[in-house]
Structure 1
Amino acid sequence: MNPADYFEGGTVTVSDETYTVYKTTRPDPEAFATIQDETETTVIAETGAIDEPTVVEAEHGWKRLTFEMVLPFELVGFLAAVATALAEEDVSIFALSSYSTDHVLVKEADLATATQKLETLGCVVEQ
C-alpha cells in the first residue's frame, strides 16, 4: 500500500473550531481528545473549553485537519508522508490517530500553507 494512493482525491476537512493543546491535571470528558500516560495528561479541546484550575500549560491557536478516509492498519508511512510534506514547508504538526482516521493540528498561522501543500499531494481540502 502506498500513502500517495490515499492522498489522490482524499478529502481533508478543516475544523471551524480553534483548538488548544492543554497539559492538565486530569482528563476532560468534553475534550476532542485526551492522551494520558504515566507522566502526564494532554487534552485537546476547543480554546477556552477547559476548566482553568486543571491547566498546567497550554499551547493555543491550532486548527484540526481531518483525513476523511479509512486508513487500514497495514498502511505504512501515511503520517510520515504528511509530516514530511508539511515539514518541507516549515509547518509543525501535532498528530493524532483514531481507530481508522488520522488528524493533524497545525497552527492557525500555517493553515493556508498546510492546505496548499496537501492539495499539491492530491487531497481535496474542505474548509
Structure 2
Amino acid sequence: MITIYHNPRCSKSRGACELITTSYDLADEPVEIIEYLQQPLSATALKALNAMLGCPVRDMLRDTESVYQDLGLDNPNLTDAQLYEAIEKHPILMQRPIVVRGGRAVIGRPPENVKALFD
C-alpha cells in the first residue's frame, strides 16, 4: 500500500502523484490518496508519520505559510507536542506531499524524493 498525503493545489504534490503512478509503482500496489486539508491528521497520527520520516518535526512544517509566523512557530522553545498540535489545527502547515510505503515515509519536495521508497 502506498499512501500519499496530498494537496491537489500544489504542483509538487501533483508531480509526486504522477511519478508514483507512472514510473515507480510498477507492481500496481494500491494507492491511497489522502487530501489532508480535507481530512486533517490528529497529533497522534502526525507523530507516527514523523517517526516514519525519521526527521525533526520542524522538517514537517511549511515555514512559508503566513500562519507559521502568526503562531510564532519559529520559536525554538516550542515542544514537539506544540508543533504537532499546530499542524493538527492548521493542516496547511504540513509539508506536502508526504508519501508512505512499507513503513517508511518521505517528503516529496522535490517529487523525485519518492524514488527512495522504491529502491
- Shorter-chain TM-score tier: under 0.3
The structure with the largest strand share of the pair is: 1
TM-score after normalising by structure 1: 0.26
TM-score, structure 2 length as denominator? Answer: 0.27
Larger CA Rg, structure 1 vs 2: 1
Q: Using CA pairs below 8 Å that are at least 6 residues apart, which structure has the higher relative contact order? A: 2
